[in-house]
Amino acid sequence: MRTLLTFLCLSSSFFVARATEPPALQALIAEDMPYLLEFYKDRHENPEISLMEKETAATLAAELRKIGFEVTEDFGGYGIVGILKNGPGPTILYRTDMDALPMYEKTGLPYKSKLTTQYNGQEVGTMHSCGHDMHMTSWLGAARAMVKMKDQWHGTLMLIGQPAEEIGKGARLMLQAGLYQKFGVPDYGMGMHCSPTIETGKVGFGKGYTMATTESVDILVKGVGAHGASPHMSIDPVVTASMMVMELQTIVSRNLKPTESAVITVGAIEGGIKHNIIPDHVTLKLTLRTFNEEVRQMVHRRIEEIAYGVAKASGVPDDLLPEITFPDEFTPANYNNEALVDIMTAAASQVIGKDNVVYAEPLMVGEDFSMYGQTAEKVPTVLYWLGTAPAERLASGNVPGLHSPYYFPAPETSIKTAVAVNTSVLLDLFTKK
């Protein structure tokens, strides 16, 4: 992942005066850092993969209860909802995800992951290689700060511990379980994600679409099998599928308006079992990334036209035409509410300095946080980037990305920055309505 960074120009009109000034907040965070660092290392050592976050969720729930939140557990899988009511005022949702990835960690950290799990029938490692341990720690740090500063704000703080972000299911599970119906519709929703390419101590914001719609598509390419020495007796699905792969690449280069964006990647080709057997089917597995619905529908249409057209040109009869499976559910593109971005960048600038608030370009990665702002209630939401890379790592050019077995955040600076920004944002949002 490569992120272009430029400085945001922020109008002084956005700044909000508060009773608690940044030095006081920073002192509070500094006092809490030993606790948060220990919590972070414990979460890093004990990651649980998607839909298996039982102990992680229980740990977060216990932490919230200790500081006075009302907590509901097992809400949409292992999801938790923590509610802190502090008089009349707005309701603000702040989400953290909780799940890790099924992979072995290679960082060599003294607190590296020590857990393995069963995944697809085999034992694999587990690792917080996407920074969800940092997300949880920062979330807890902001919760603890907001409790200590209850005299500075009024309203309802809704903290979401979400499962299964890595497989794009957790937000949907919690919303389908009735999140807004049971706990109320928030006035604002916020979240953050670690960035491996933004320097620690900085945060990155973008307006509008910042992450893509993500879909997984399967194409079953059929043919007629034969001996490898007698290809003339076959309709070779390997060759047909190969031609499809090349033609699919023309959708972005020749059918998409140059000012629009899309990615079509064939991530897997599965077919055949032996060198000298031409199989009778091959499966292509695609990931699609788009921002707007019109482009998404065009890509779907062209996939169908290319798959059927190439098959017919290869001599495939009508009863063996490809089977294309588009998902019934997918992760929609993340849209950052522009007015809310202005509020959040101003609050972040106040507490960490405007030179540390940078522009982050849109990326084709996906995040199901987007769903919290795309229900019928149209809650304004923002998901921003937390810088986690030490300056020396960036200078070296050896920058492991998210989902790398070598990725990890710079703990102390990242935690301090995230807790400061998130607390500052929450304090400002509680004055907005």
Q: Which two tokens stand for residue 160?
A: 């979401």
Residue 2 confidence (pLDDT) above 80: no
Q: How confident is the model at residue 20 (pLDDT cuts 50, 70, 90)?
A: low
Distances in Å between the Cα of 31 and the Cα atoms of 34, 141, 243, 425 are: 7, 11, 62, 20
**Using one digit for the tens of pLDDT, what is the confidence trace for 211-231?**
999 999 999 999 999 999 999
Angle at 316 between CA 315 and CA 317, to 5 degrees: 110
Q: Using one digit for the tens of pLDDT, what is the confidence trace for 285-323?
A: 999 999 999 999 999 999 999 999 999 999 999 999 999
Burial class (CB in 10 A: 0-12, 13-18, 19+), 296: buried
Name the average pLDDT for the chain: 94
For residue 222, give the amino acid letter. K
- How do residues 232-251 score in pLDDT, each as one tens digit? 999 999 999 999 999 999 99
| pLDDT grade for 7, boundaries at 50, 70 and 90 | very low
Write the single-letter amino acid at 252.
V
Which CATH number fits the domain 213-325, given the four candidates 3.40.50.2300, 3.40.50.2020, 3.30.70.360, 3.50.50.60?
Answer: 3.30.70.360
pLDDT band for 432, please (50, 70, 90 cuts). Answer: confident
Q: How far, in Å, CA of 365 to CA of 376, rounded?
A: 24
Residue type, 28: L
Q: Please give the radius of gyration of the chain, using alpha carbons only, rounded to the nearest integer.
A: 24
Of 29, 49, 25, 212, whose CA–CA distance to 120 is shortest?
49
Is 5-210+333-429's fold the same as 213-325's?
Answer: no
Cα separation, 125 vs 130, in Å, equals 14
In the prediction, which pLDDT does 134 show? 98
Q: What is the mean pLDDT of residues 360-369?
A: 97
pLDDT tens, position by position, 116-130:
999 999 999 999 999
**What's residue 15's pLDDT?**
34
Nearest in space to 401 (alpha carbons), one of 165, 167, 199, 197: 197
Provide mean pLDDT across the span 99-111.
Answer: 98
User: What is the spatial distance between Cα 128 and Cα 31, in angstroms, rounded to a whole number?
Assistant: 26
pTM for the predicted model, two decimal places = 0.93
Encoded tokens for 404: 């790398």
| pLDDT over threshold 50, residue 36 | yes
Closest CA to 191 of 421, 433, 430: 421
Spell out the domain ranges in the chain: 5-210+333-429, 213-325
Rounded CA-CA distance 330/172 in Å is 10
CATH class of the structural domain 5-210+333-429: alpha beta
pLDDT the model gives residue 5: 36
Is the CB of residue 317 less than 8 Å from the CB of residue 243?
A: no
